[in-house]
Chain A
Amino acid sequence: MMKRPELVCPAGTPAALRTAVDAGADAVYCGMQNATNARNFPGLNFTPEELQASVAYAHDAGTKVLLAVNTFPPAGKFELWRGAVDLGARLGVDAFIVADIGVAEYAARVHPGCRLHLSVQAAASSPEAIRYYCREFGVRRVVLPRILTVPEIRALAAEIPCEIETFIFGNHGLMIEGRCSLTNYVCGLSTNMDGVCSPAADVHYDRAADGSVATRLGAFTIDRFGPAEQAGYPTICKGRYLAPARDEAYYAFEEPVSLNLSALLPALIEAGVDAFKIEGRQRSRAYVRSVVSAFRQAIDQTLAGETPALADLIALTEGQKETEGAFKTKKWR
């Protein structure tokens, strides 16, 4: 019999959290309204009071709450991260999602009863790296970077003493997760320490008379979409650039495309994945409702031995394109 994987869903607001719970999430992940999490976007995330009420709502429904404290504290600013961990423990969150070893050490030492999950931002993909976090901080689950094939995940599962969580849907921004500094160069803010990639205050859209739109980040134009062309997120890694390698502007880093592993669910469960993560704390309640419902149904059907009837989620994907990325083949680009 197949092991029942946990469906881990995003929540950028209390309303999104309740939507995820009601749509069948086993766990919901969220963050505070500050730099302690990697979706520190304007108007997003939770106040302490909202988190308290949200934990109560989720727990009443039997849903876990995972608090993302997954950025890297700069020197002299650790107090903010310590405060987030202490607050989460006091409010009864079920796990902390951490990336920094200082934050991991603090949470493990001061709140040993609370589970630690290793964030994708830690970019731990080898058995040696993952075993280090398990041994030193008691990490119970690793969120894998989106760079491994299903056979590689199966092999990894046999070599590590903790649970495995993989992304199954959403933004597909790989780089070396937790180490991307592209935003820093342009905006002066750190994705990894300030928790914001392409801060909205630096994003500008310039619409031309012909209907085309140029996307600028700070002083740099990073893409230009024709009048009927699909758009992507305004991040440097998804921009199109002129470079000597090609005659025309092209996606030099990554293409605007979303991950969708719905067809690989049975293979991933069989490979030993314990939890499936949906990306998108910055997305709306409508997104959360659609994607969580679709994957709740697909997982339940897979576990029942049925072929999952997969909802069409293409309308919610970046650039209206989806990929199975490295999970299917290393040659996915």
Chain B
Amino acid sequence: MHQVALPTAVLIIIKFERTPMAAILPETGIRRLLPPAPLFLLQPVLRRIVQHIAAGNPSLFNRLGPHRKARFVIDAQGLPFLLLLRPDPDNLLFRAYARDAEPEHDARIAGRFLDLLGLVDGGEDGDALFFSRDLDVTGNTEAVVCLRNALDDVDGSIAARVADLFGPVGRIALIAIRQAGSRAKADRRAA
């Protein structure tokens, strides 16, 4: 089931991101009237992803130091849900929450979905996104800096490893996402 669920979700997200609705809904609050996303389908997928990344990169946790127990809310704008990450190797947590049910957290990271993916992918610079106001950080800044540095020390692409987890469909989905990201970036520069 997972081999289909993530790419399908991702393709829906891309499609959603490229519609005028994506820009309008956060402003109008109409999104709250939409049916809630099927988060229960997403939770096992997210759990599998975070366990896979943790197993492949144990040194990542050393850089987090005491902040491995911190709870990070990730607001990937354009996604119909929030993500909660606790990067504790002994008690990993990566779950989706409805936007109107934001969980308690130590730090909050907000940005466009494709920018955040670029950060995880080693393709974007967090400081540059902050300078251009495309990345918002509130709460425990030190924990966020630690997380950023820990993820940036992972060689290669975390996104590619996640895509590999879901086979050819995952890899195709990632290509589509990256292409959408490049197009969006080019559009912003042109504007």
Could you tell me if B153 and A15 are in contact, using CB atoms closer than 8 angstroms? yes
CB atoms of B149 and A41 under 8 A apart: yes
Q: Which of A88-96, A124-132, A311-319, A324-332 lies at the interface?
A: A311-319
Name the CB-closest residue of B to A286.
B125
Q: Are B141 and A231 in contact (CB under 8 A)?
A: no
Nearest chain B CB to A111 CB, angstrom units: 28
Q: Is B146 an interface residue (CB 8 A)?
A: yes
* Complex interface: chain B residues within 8 A of A203 (CB): 141-142
Contact call B147/A204, Cβ cutoff below 8 A: no
Considering the chains assembled together, what is the distance between the CA atoms of A230 and B133 in angstroms?
6
Do A13 and B153 form a contact, CB below 8 Å, given A43-B146, A284-B126, A286-B125? yes
Q: Are A284 and B152 interface neighbours, CB within 8 A? A: yes
The stretch among A115-123, A147-155, A205-213, A241-249 that forms the contact with chain B is A205-213
Q: Say yes or no: B131 contacts A286, CB within 8 Å.
A: no
Q: Is the CB of B137 within 8 A of A205?
A: yes
Give every chain A residue within 8 A of B63 (Cβ-Cβ). Answer: 13, 43
With an 8 A cutoff between CB atoms, is B154 at the interface? yes
State whether B131 touches A231 (Cβ < 8 A).
Answer: yes
CB < 8 Å neighbour of B155 from A15, A201, A319: A15
Q: Does B123 contact A (CB under 8 A)?
A: yes
A320 at the interface (CB under 8 A from B): yes
Give the CA-CA distance A41 to B153 in the complex, in Å: 14
- Which of chain B's residues 128-180 have a Cβ closer than 8 Å to chain A? 128, 130-133, 136-138, 140-142, 144-150, 152-155
Flag whether A309 is at the interface (Cβ < 8 A): no
When the two chains form the complex, which single residue of A42, A205, A207, A231 contacts B145, counting CB atoms closer than 8 Å?
A42
B127 touches A282 (CB 8 A): yes
- The 8 Å CB contact of B131, one of A14, A204, A232, A284, is A232
Identify the closest chain A residue to B140 (Cβ).
A201
Q: Which residues of the other chain, B, contact A231 by a CB distance below 8 angstroms?
A: 130-133
Quick check: is A199 within 8 A (CB to CB) of the other chain?
Answer: yes
- A295 CB to nearest B CB, Å: 16
Expressed in whole angstroms, the Cα–Cα distance for A272 and B83 within the complex equals 53
Query: Which residues on the A side are within 8 Å of B124 (C-beta)?
Result: 284, 286
A 218-257 binary contact with B (CB < 8 Å = 1; else 0): 0000000101111111000000000000000000000010
A207 to B122, Cβ gap below 8 A? no
User: B102-132 toward A: CB 8 Å interface, digit per residue (1/0)?
Assistant: 0000000000000000110011111110111
Distance of B122 from chain A, by nearest CB (Å)? 5
With A and B bound together, what is the CA distance between A318 and B150 in angstroms? Answer: 22
A44 to B149 alpha-carbon distance, docked (Å): 6
Taking CB atoms, residues of chain B closer than 8 Å to A287 are 125, 127-128
Contact residues of B between 59 and 115, Cβ < 8 Å to A: 62-65, 67
A315-B128 contact in complex given A41-B149, A43-B149, C-beta closer than 8 Å:
yes
0 or 1 for each of A155-199: is its CB under 8 Å from B? (1 = yes) = 000000000000000000000000000000000000000000001
Contacts known (A42-B67, A43-B64, A284-B122); A318 close to B131, Cβ less than 8 A: yes
Q: With contacts A13-B149, A43-B64, A43-B150 known, is A199 near B125, CB below 8 A?
A: no
Contact A284 B127 (CB under 8 A): yes
Contact of B133 (CB < 8 Å), options: A15, A47, A228: A228
Q: B133 and A13: CB pair below 8 A? A: no
A145 CB–B CB distance under 8 Å: no
Partner of A207, one of B123, B128, B138, B146: B138
Interface assignment of A285: CB less than 8 Å from any CB of chain B = yes
Contact A320 B125 (CB under 8 A): no
Q: Per a CB cutoff under 8 Å, which of A13, A16, A204 touches B141?
A: A204
**Set of chain B residues within 8 Å of A310, measured between Cβ atoms:** none
Partner of A200, one of B65, B118, B142, B155: B142
Closest Cβ neighbor of A288 among chain B residues? B125
User: Could you tell me if A43 and B128 are in contact, using CB atoms closer than 8 angstroms?
Assistant: no
Contacts of B118 in A (CB 8 A): 286
Q: From residue A28, how far is it (CB to closest CB) to chain B in Å?
A: 15
| B128 close to A42 (CB less than 8 A) | no
Q: Is the CB of B138 within 8 A of A205?
A: yes
Provide 11 A-B residue pairs closer than 8 Å at the C-beta atoms, listed in order of the A residue.
A13-B149, A16-B153, A41-B149, A42-B146, A47-B62, A205-B137, A233-B127, A284-B119, A286-B123, A287-B127, A316-B128
Residues of B in contact with A (beta carbons under 8 Å apart): 62-65, 67, 118-119, 122-128, 130-133, 136-138, 140-142, 144-150, 152-155
Given contacts A18-B155, A230-B133, A284-B124, 19 further A-B contacts (CB under 8 A): A15-B122, A15-B152, A41-B149, A43-B67, A43-B148, A47-B62, A200-B145, A213-B136, A225-B133, A227-B133, A282-B127, A284-B127, A284-B148, A286-B118, A287-B127, A316-B128, A318-B131, A320-B131, A320-B132
A-B residue pairs, 9 tightest by C-beta: A43-B149, A43-B146, A13-B153, A200-B142, A201-B142, A287-B125, A43-B63, A203-B141, A200-B145
